[in-house]
Every structure is written in structure tokens, then in C-alpha cells.
Chains A and B, each alone.
Chain A
């Protein structure tokens, strides 16, 4: 293959990155004296070589000579002790390498042929004294063994030759055919195929989990018996993808106990939306719910907005950066694949991870093999991944959150969401409807297919254990997707060049094509037409691969030429891989042989119904034993430093939240820069309206009362939007259930209660669910350092995300106290509700009394605040959430860098009053001139607590409880993540 290999090493004259990189490495405990970073390009060609002069030209194209220098085929020679090179493993996406290749092609007017490429790697030249063990450990923090190759050399080994040029080319030698699989076997063996995968005839090894249980395997066996033949591997793999928990949501679809015969989804989620829509009548805000890739609500007479929140938990546990990156660009495609293509206009994120100061020391294998990544590594990786995805795609990322609990140390949860915007109609065509027609061509556009992401859908339906396949990991290429997104939503859509579109996510084309085939009742695919990253892939792998950045479209024959030439002009690869039919079947050919022929009804509806039984045991926890301290100054500072309360601004500022020009209320607010609960963004220029986003999440309440946990999440998601001025009747919500051990009746019992809570409170507030997703097995099974089996399960976690339309963004309010002398109110009642609270956690307890909720009462209260905001009577508003009223007051003061003088009632223990997490409350500040008008509207709900002013937050209840300079509060609030 490649015969000519050249290596170009680039370094800065004065490297601006070194200060941060060095201190970061030191902060991880490595005593290094000095660090140098070298960017390496390895050029591998076979059809032509590059001369010395040509390599000089190439080097010049790859650097800025003002600050950088390069060496072609000469190793960098500066003083150092160790050289650590981190490159990619074969087949891993190398975006920088691809760009360098294009630049070289452009410069010399040539095209690299298959097998020729540019590969990048980074060389760390380290000065200092490290033991061999420390050196290995340092290497491990720089490279993830699942995606990176690592080469470590001492100065002596480096010698005059430097590092070897490494060409990570993919070599595959398996036989690329479809094989038949005999299912006429014992049930134990049948179950084993479902659990561990088909045995590969060439290697004798299992191909990886199908996540099909015995009942499902038996149905598959019966189907093919009735067809009078044995199934092929591709047919079984395809059924496994389509029937996966990830795609079919079997737990939410199954009958449960005697009282939920139609399953949780239909009974509690869909039914809530149906009821709300019927009750709202003409005021229904929903356009498309549950059926498309995203949910859509009305923005105004001309536009709609979509929202969708996905999780990417299992991939992020293995490769946090790649997992989070593909999570966010994946959900971007749920926007591009909504209707005929909405434009992604806001990204949203959420991370549940272990405490970054905690080292769980857990292993996926015995004998301390395959250590799991530390919470710190996971946090760093996922933060960076979502950032790179959004920043490179030009999508602002204002709204997000981060939650810490060591029960997420085995498996983190990574939520990624995207809001899209689209005209409701174009040239008389409804853009939110789509239908492939028989005879339309199946076109795949975007990136090429490799082995990456194989078994992603089935893998995420299983708990994480040593057999997790590494091919489940993938690195996204946001620029390839950006090109695809631009040409679809900014050009092809409005030229009416296709009839239907969907994204390739879980299950790859096996799911996207089969899903679209429902619209016309059939498809016929020529699998050998699919463009590949490298040769040697088996048909089943091509069919289910989850390689990123691909959309599937239905293009009418007469539009094909126009479509293809547009794609070509934008350098987006598009390929016809088959046609849609009305045969009622999904037929796949491979080099002229039919390798799959399954009825669409069996493929989509053949999955056997389950009947799940649940149990529920009310748990009780001891109440923390403590008395109220005399003064609460120290308590307040400790509360502000809790990781779930303090500032995570380092995330907000590395995410571009201003691109597209719609920034109104951003992720941090006020001159004191406090992270807000809700953000507001304009998505249609020249409209007064804006899109508000917020969320609610209370995993600490789940084990106490899952029903009220769901209520707290819904109320908090709604209340965040009410506080900035979004009216209740424009708000829609999304559900993401991330459960654990969902084969245990107790866990299912909690799930059932949470789903019932979703129904009751969504209906009571009148806020419809428009989209949702669930991830049911967020458990880690492995070993501790002494080889004891360990299972770490996430707490049952429900994220409720909210979206609403602000009618006039100029009347929205931020959270910061603004003017000295303004009145401070709390709206709503405070009860002694501290079960699962941050305060009880500080005291080392859990407790039992989680906040109750009277939605009917709150609806009236929220209407009052909405009116007060629309009359511009309120200077700031902030919802009371985790940490309670005391924390809300402190945050409002810090944001405004203004003190407050507060008096609280004395009928409750003062610490309980300040840190109770009772729902339905806001802290607002009001100009004295507006006192009467404000109180008339908000009535008895508004309690005057004091005034803004001075430099201290002072809280009194008979005596002074707390008197702290705002500067001290600010320091405490910002301390924990300073330096991240």
C-alpha cells in the first residue's frame, strides 16, 4: 500500500499553549520541569512521492511562519528527557489529517487515492525526572487506549532518529459476505446468541451483544421457520438494532402490572400530551409530537421551533470526548432530520458525573485491568466534546447544567439537546411533514461508513461490563456535518429537491432506511453501493454501522440530477444506495445476492410484547440530627461551595453562546457573573419573540419519592422560564429518563411512579410533552482493586427540559439585583421540606420530606408573575431551586454585586427556612415606585423580605443570623472550579 512516508514536525517559536498545559499536568501530580508540544503530520502516499522542495512547500502551508517552524523528515532537537507521542488508532476519525490532506491536494492540484492519507499526532517532549511508572501514568492521562496509540521514548531511545513514522492504516482480512445463522438450536445457546452475539465463523469469536432476550430470539426463529429458511447474520443484526431498547423503548412500551396494559409511554406520556392538546383547543401549541426526530411547537404565524434531548451515556463512559462530541452532533441531526430539515439554532447540555475530586479506583476487568476513567477525566472530556461540537458547527450553547454524585462514577450521563427553527411552510408545502414515495431513490449523504459505532444501539441497551465493544466508540467530524447541514437546511430544502429525510443515528442505515420505508411501505437497498472508509467490511457491519455525519433522503427520480450536482458543488458526498418501494418488505442486496428479505410489519411490529411486573417499597432514611447553629455564616459559605451549587462558569465561557446573533439572556448574568437557571435567545431576526430554555433535575429525591421527584423536575423546568417572563401557555416539556437495573421490579416500580408523576403534573400545568427519550441500564459492573465484584448504579434520574416562547424579549428580566434600595420579595410559601436537599447532604443525611406540589395553586401564582413582568414591574427574578431560598438570595446578590438586608419569619428553624427546597418560589427585586402595583398583582403570594443595598448580605430573624460581605460570598461561589 503506502510506500512513501514523510513526517513533518511543527513547533511554535514561543508556544502560547505551554503555560496552561504545563500547569495542568502539574496539577495532576506530575513534577515536570518543562514541556514542549510538537504537532506531527505523517504523509503516506503510494502513487507519488514528494521531493524535499515539495515537502518544504507542504510545511509552509501547514504553519504560520511568523510564530511557527517546521522540520520535514528531521526530528525536533531540543533538550528533553522523555518523548510521548499520542496518535490515533487505525480507523479513528482524524479531522486535522483530513484537512491537511485537502490542503496538499489543492496546492499540488492532485487527488489522494484510497489508502493515501495524512495522519496527525502530537508529540510531548518533557523535561523532568519521572519514574517509569509515573511516565506510563502520564501517558495514560494524555491518551485514551480506545482511540489513541501511545509511544513513549527516553531521550536515549529517541537518539538522532527521533520517533518512528507510524501509519495507522486499517487492515481487514475477513471475508466480506453474509452468512446464514442456524437458530434451530437449544434455547440456552439461542439465549447466548442474543446476549453475546453471533459466533464469527472465521475468528470463532462472538461479534458483540445483540441485546435480544430469549423470547425475542424465539420469535425470530419462528419467523424464519415460517419462511422456510435460515436467517442471515445481517437479518438478525438488523432485527437486533430495530428491536433494541434504544430504538423501540421496549420497557416504556410494555404492559406493566394490571393497571398499565398499554405501557408507560402511551398511558402517561402520550396521554398527557393528548389530553392537554384537547383541553387547549385553539390554543394548542404543538405541531409535531413524538413521531418525528424532534418535537415541534409554534413559534409564531410563520415559524416553528423544534426541541430534542438525547443521551450518549455509554460511549461517553469509554471515550468522554468522542462520546459527548458525537452526542451533540448526533442530536443536531435530529434537528436537520426533523420534517424536511430545521436549522439547528441552540444547543443544550447536561452532565451527571462523579465528584471530580473522587477517585473510584474501579476496573472493568479483574486484576486491576481496564481501569475506568476518573470523574475528572470524564468531566474534562465531555465538557470539551460538547464544546467542540457546538463551536465548530456555529450553534450557540447557552443553556446547560452539571450535577455531581458519586453514583455516576461508574457510568456518567451525558445529555445533549438541540433546538431548531424552520418556516412552517415554503411555497405552499408544509415543511414539518414528509413522505417518501414508492420509486424515490434512497440517497445517503455526508460521511463514509467505517467500523465505528457498530453495536452502538444494542450496547447502550446493556449495562457497561468488560465485554463492552470498543468499536462502540466514534469521533465526530463537525465540519463534514456542517457542510451537510448547510447544504440541506440553507439550500436543498427550499429548492424542493427531496421528499423525506432522516438522520443516521443508532443502528445506522438499517434503522434510517427501514424507518423511512414505513412512509411508502418498502425499500430495496444495494448495500455494495454504500461508500466505505476502507475495504473489507462485512455486509452486516455496513448495514448497522453508526459512522457519523450521515443523513438518508428520499429523492424523486426527476430531482436526482439537481440534487446530486448541488451536493457535488458543496463537496458533500452523496450516493444512491437503492429505492423506496411499496413491496411491504425490506430487501437488501450485496453484489447481486439478496442477503436480507424481511416483511416490514415483522421488522417494526414483530417484537414480542412483554408484561412487566413491578414492586415498590417506600424507603425511610434517618433524619439528620443537628441543631441550628447560632450563626449561619459558615453554613452559607459551605453551601455556596457545594459542587451542585457553586459556579461552573468555566463550562459556559468555553461554549460559544453568541453565534447566530440571538443572545438576550445568557448562561452567566450580572456583573458578578452567576450561572442562570434559564436563558433566552432570539432565533428569528426582526421578531420580538425569543426562545427560553430551562430544566429541572432532582435525582436525590428519587429514592425517597419518585412521584414527587417528577413533580419537582417539572415545576422547576417550568418555573425557570416563568422567571424570565415566558408565559405558561407557551411552554412545552421534554422527558429523559435515565434509569438503572431496569430488570428489577423495584426499579420498575420507581419508574412507574415517576411516569405517573409526569402525567399528573404535566396535565395540571397544561405543559405538553413533545419529545422524550429513555436510557434504562445505566449500571456499571466491574471490580474493585481487590477483585471484588462491584456494581455501581446511577440514581433513577429524570431530566425535564423546557422550551417556551417569550412574546417580547425587551421585557425579559435577568437574575441580578440591580439598584440599591430595591425591595426584595420571595414569592411563594416555604415549608420544612429538606428530604434529599443539598442542606441535608451537607449535614451528612438524606431525610424523607421531599417538597410537595399544588400545581393548580402555582398556575395562578405564575400567571401573576407573568403579568407583573409584562407590565415591567420587576427588576430581577430568580427561581428558588437546589439549596433553597438562602442560596437564591446569595446568588441574586452575587450577580448584582450588591448587598441585601433581609428579615425572615421566625416560625421555623432558621437554617431549615433558608435551605428548604420547597417548590414554586421565586426571589424578585422591585423598584420602590412599583411596590403597590406589584403587590396588587402578586397578592398574598409575595412576601417582602427586605432591601437591596450595602456591601453585605445580612439575614436577620430576631437576631442576626448571617452577615457576610458579597465579596466573600462571591469567592465561595467561585472557588471550587477555579483553575478548571
Chain B
């Protein structure tokens, strides 16, 4: 029985900063098309963090109707691009590589950020944008089918495993996974390099921040070393399996009704935002 011991968990209540955030001038490009499906909520969360974003269909980039060079952040959001056929993220990555590779390399050369969430992470992995050791964009990791053999949708706890621009000020993220292929696998050498170069950004953990030790359901997919997300060597590209953008309000959290009741009894005011906003504030903050 997988009952989490929530009562003993630390009071990670998220943020109190709720004042209107000033918008920055830089813009983000959110990819869409062919079964990507989380573009709208991703745009919403970026706006709340202070960055305007355009949702751009990949065909509009390929046809030159939109240009990547006009943006400072590129986001591959969650979804089921091509229905996960031929491996999750693989077909969309092929489409990017076969049509947009030069534009992408130019973008990576600039002082820009790339974020891939869930299906977006699977696309980044198949493009070799993470880990991209020595700027070699080859596939070094795989996001394999979950050990449970099917899609798994549940809330998980994450803790930062490195100090980088994305993890600043984050103690714990608490957000859903919803994927069938998030089981990170790589060679021993790759794993060693990921650790040595501090490229493991987030790991799955228990509610009290102790490691998941590979145990289900805290580690929901069997990922090696509980890895939930990794960055590129320079830290500017982040791939993350769970979905912080789906739980940015307090009422989006799985356990909010219990938390709310506990806070009210203690006379603590109930927040409106969740701790997951910090990840996006960090990303936008990079340009401030």
C-alpha cells in the first residue's frame, strides 16, 4: 500500500509573492503541432512569471513564417507528439532535426534558454540537446517505457539535485507526472558525467525530501538514480519529465484540501500560488 505519510512532511507551503509581476521585453516561443498539447497552460504560466510567449506551430517555423531568432526562450511543452509512435518524442525530434537544425544550433549559440517538459524532454533527449556533452548533440540518454508498462498520472515530489539557474530558491516541487515513457536510462559513463558535471537538476523524492531510492510510487517510472530532469553542460537547456506548469495554483495541488484545513486550524493564511511557480520565475528571472 502506497500511502504517503503527509502529516509528517515539512511545511513546504510555496510562495507568498503574489504581487503583479513586471513583464520583461524578451519573448518565449512555445512549440505546437502534431499532438503537442500543453502549449496553452505553458503560455499561461510564463505570462504569470512575467514573460510573453507566442505559441508557434512547427510548420510556421519550417515555412519561415516565424523565426526562432526573435525569441530568447524556446519551450517544447508536454503532449503526445505523433502519438508517441516510434518512441515518445522521436518523430517530432526527427521533424525538427530534418527541417530546423541550423536555426536551432544558432539559437543554442546565443545566450538563450531551452525548456522541455515531459514530451518536450523526450524531444530534447532525442535531439541530443541534453546532455550534449562537449556540444556534441547526440543521443546519450533514453526515456524508456515506464516500469509499470503504462502511462502513470499522479503527483510526485521533486527536489533539486544541483544549484543552477532553474533550481534557485526551490526546496521542493510537487506536481503531476503524466507519461508512459519517462524511465531515464543511460550508460554508466554518461551517468557518471551527469553527476560529476552537476547536470542532474531534479530527482524524485519522498514527501519529506528523503530520496525515492527507486521505489514506486515516489519514483513513478523506474528512472535511474531517481532522475526527473537534467540540464545541458552549461545549464541553459533543461529537460524535465514532471509537469510543474500544471500545478501553479495552490488548488491544483493533490493535497491542497488537507493543507488548507491544517493551515486554517493554525491560523496560517492559505496561499493562492503553489511552490511550482518558482521554477518559471527563475527562468524568466534569468533575463531580468
Is B145's CB under 8 angstroms from A16's CB?
yes
| CB-based contact A392/B98 at 8 Å | no
Residue contact B82 to A663, C-beta cutoff 8 Å: no
The complex places the Cα of A809 from the Cα of B151 at a distance, in Å, of: 28
A654 at the interface (CB under 8 A from B): yes
A residues within 8 A CB of B144? 12, 16, 67
| CB under 8 Å from chain A, chain B span 15-32 | 32
Q: Does A891 contact B (CB under 8 A)?
A: no
What 1/0 mask marks residues of chain B from 120 to 146 whose CB sits below 8 Å from any chain A CB? 000001100000000000011110111
Query: Roughly how many angstroms separate A666 CA and B253 CA in the complex, as a whole number?
Result: 10
A671 and B245 contact, CB distance less than 8 A: no
Closest A residue to B181 by beta carbon equals A16
Of the 9-residue stretches B107-115, B182-190, B279-287, which lies at the interface with chain A?
B182-190
> Does B6 lie at the interface of the complex (its beta carbon under 8 Å from any beta carbon of A)?
yes
A810 to chain B minimum Cβ distance, whole angstroms, is 6
A392 with B80, Cβ < 8 A, contacts A66-B185, A486-B32, A816-B258 known: yes
Contact of A661 among B35, B41, B85, B250 (CB under 8 A): B41
A residues 304-333 touching B (CB-CB < 8 Å): none
Whether the pair A665, B257 counts as a contact (CB closer than 8 A) is: yes
The listed residue (A61, A486, A659, A671) touching B3 by CB distance below 8 A is: A671
Chain B, 31-66, CB within 8 A of any chain A CB: 32-35, 37-38, 40-41, 44-45, 57, 59-60, 63, 65
Interface residues of B in 180-223 (CB under 8 A from A): 180, 183, 185-187, 222
Whether the Cβ atoms of B83 and A392 lie closer than 8 Å is yes
Query: Are B60 and A569 touching (Cβ within 8 A)?
Result: yes
Q: Are B94 and A64 in contact (CB under 8 A)?
A: no
B13 at interface by CB-CB < 8 Å: no
A99 touches B82 (CB 8 A): yes
Q: Closest A residue to B57 by CB, please name it.
A: A570
Q: In the complex, which residues of chain B have a beta carbon less than 8 angstroms from the beta carbon of A669?
A: 257
Let me know if A960 is at the binding interface, CB within 8 A: no
Contact of A479 among B34, B86, B257, B261 (CB under 8 A): B34
Residues of A within 8 A of B57 (CB): 569-570
A663 close to B261 (CB less than 8 A)? no
Asked if B257 and A818 sit within 8 Å, CB to CB, the answer is: yes
Q: Which of B45, B91, B152 has the most CB of A within 10 A?
A: B91
- Answer whether A569 and B63 are a contact pair too, CB < 8 Å, given A20-B149, A809-B251: yes
CA distance A569 to B61 in the complex (A): 11
Encode contact with B along A368-396: 1 for CB under 8 Å, 0 otherwise: 00000000000000000001000111100
Report A70 CB to chain B, min CB distance, Å.
11
Contacting residues, chain B, for A16 (C-beta < 8 A):
144-147, 149, 183, 185, 222
Q: Is A434 an interface residue (CB 8 A)?
A: no
A643 near B: Cβ within 8 Å? no
Please tell me if B255 contacts chain A, counting CB pairs below 8 Å.
yes
Pick the residue among A482, A671, A682, A897 that contacts B37 (CB under 8 A): A482
- The contact string, 1 if C-beta is below 8 Å from chain B, for chain A 67-108, is 110000000000000000000000000011011101100110
Is B105's beta carbon under 8 Å from chain A? no
Q: Closest CB of chain A to B45's CB: distance in Å? A: 8
In the bound complex, what is the Cα–Cα distance between A682 and B44 (angstroms)?
13
Q: With a 10 A CB-CB cut-off, give which of A67, A569, A669, A819 has the most chain B CB atoms.
A: A67
Q: Chain B's nearest CB lies how many Å from the CB of A301?
A: 20
Instruction: State which of A63, A100, A657, A897 has its C-beta within 8 Å of the C-beta of B153.
Output: A657
The answer to whether B257 touches A17, judged by C-beta atoms less than 8 angstroms apart, is: no
Report the separation of the CA atoms of residues A864 and B152 in the bound assembly, to the nearest whole angstrom.
39
Contact B3–A658 (Cβ < 8 Å): no
A803 contacts the other chain (CB 8 A)? no
* B83: contacting residue among A95, A387, A653, CB under 8 A: A95
Check: A270 CB closer than 8 A to any chain B CB: no
> Which residue of chain A has the shortest Cβ distance to B65 in the bound complex?
A569
Are A482's CB and B146's CB within 8 A? no
Contact of B178 among A64, A486, A658 (CB under 8 A): A658
Assembly CA distance A96 to B148 (angstroms): 22
**Bound complex: CA A569 to CA B37 (Å):** 18
B36 CB to closest chain A CB (Å) equals 8
Contact of A17 among B99, B125, B145 (CB under 8 A): B145
A664 near B258: Cβ-Cβ < 8 Å: no
B262 within 8 Å of A (CB atoms): yes
**Stretch in A140-148, A196-204, A878-886, A967-975 touching the partner:** A967-975
Write out the residue numbers on chain B whose beta carbons fall within 8 Å of the beta carbon of A664. 251-252
Tell me if A21 and B149 are in contact (CB < 8 A). Answer: yes
Beyond known contacts A62-B86, A392-B35: 12 more, CB 8 A cutoff: A387-B150, A391-B80, A478-B83, A483-B34, A570-B59, A658-B247, A659-B41, A659-B78, A659-B246, A816-B257, A816-B258, A970-B1
Q: Please, could you name 21 A-B residue pairs with CB atoms under 8 Å apart, sorted by A? A: A20-B147, A66-B185, A67-B144, A99-B83, A106-B99, A392-B83, A394-B35, A394-B79, A569-B59, A569-B65, A654-B153, A659-B246, A660-B40, A660-B41, A661-B252, A663-B246, A664-B252, A666-B254, A671-B258, A810-B251, A816-B257
